[in-house]
């Protein structure tokens, strides 16, 4: 048991995983030395990764590992305390507010996006719906869209 008022130490994020389309693809997301704290609690500490165009990039990890904070910095919803975030070659600037998740997913798939960020997309789905969603993600990637995926499913 922690003493009253103490903070739980953040859980480290496991290594990221990716599935790239064969061939040499340009970088779409570049994160270097990302650090973000809330009050005295460090949520993300020194995270670095790159995402190639057409890639499904998975950020796995348990609750509290910093996955959503990392993606919020990539989306411009949070300002990092340190590090560098670039999307499509441009520095990320803070967005005004977070859209509703379902609306964001629908809007993300309209048009011809180069990258789609999906945060905990399959949470709460039954196994069949989760499988259908994974198939949809594969179809999106097959059409040349880069997918940055946050999930607590480690498999």
Q: pLDDT (tens digit, 9 = 90+) per residue, 14-58?
A: 555 555 554 567 888 999 999 999 999 999 999 999 999 888 888
CB 58 within 8 A of CB 5: no
DSSP state of 3: P
Name the average pLDDT for the chain: 76
Report the alpha-carbon distance of residue 73 to residue 59 in Å, rounded.
Answer: 14
Residue in 153, 136, 154 with CA at minimum distance from that of residue 145: 136
So what's the pLDDT on residue 39? 92
How would you class 6 by CB atoms within 10 Å of its CB: exposed for 0-12, middle for 13-18, buried for 19 or more? exposed
Strand duo 146-151 + 115-119: pairing: parallel
CA dihedral sign, ordered 15, 16, 20, 24? negative
C-alpha distance from residue 135 to each of 79, 94, 138, 139, 150 (Å): 33, 31, 5, 6, 16
Report the alpha-carbon distance of residue 76 to residue 59 in Å, rounded.
Answer: 17
So what's the pLDDT on residue 16? 58
Q: pLDDT (tens digit, 9 = 90+) per residue, 51-107?
A: 998 888 888 888 889 999 999 898 888 889 999 998 888 888 655 443 344 455 556
pLDDT at 146 over 50: yes
């Amino acid at each position: 048991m922690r003493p009253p008022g103490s903070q739980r130490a953040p859980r480290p994020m496991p290594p990221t995983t990716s599935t790239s389309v064969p061939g040499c693809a340009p970088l779409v997301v570049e994160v270097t030395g990302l650090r973000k704290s809330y009050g005295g609690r460090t949520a993300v500490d020194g995270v670095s990764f790159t995402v190639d165009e057409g890639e499904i990039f998975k950020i796995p990890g348990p609750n509290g590992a910093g996955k959503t904070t990392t993606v919020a910095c990539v989306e411009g919803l949070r300002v990092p305390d340190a590090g560098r975030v670039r999307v499509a070659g441009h520095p990320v600037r803070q967005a005004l507010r977070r859209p509703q998740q379902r609306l964001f997913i629908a809007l993300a798939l309209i048009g011809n996006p180069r990258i789609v960020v999906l945060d905990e997309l399959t949470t709460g789905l039954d196994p069949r719906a989760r499988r259908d969603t994974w198939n949809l993600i594969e179809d999106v990637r097959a059409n040349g869209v880069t997918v940055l995926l946050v999930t607590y499913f480690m498999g």
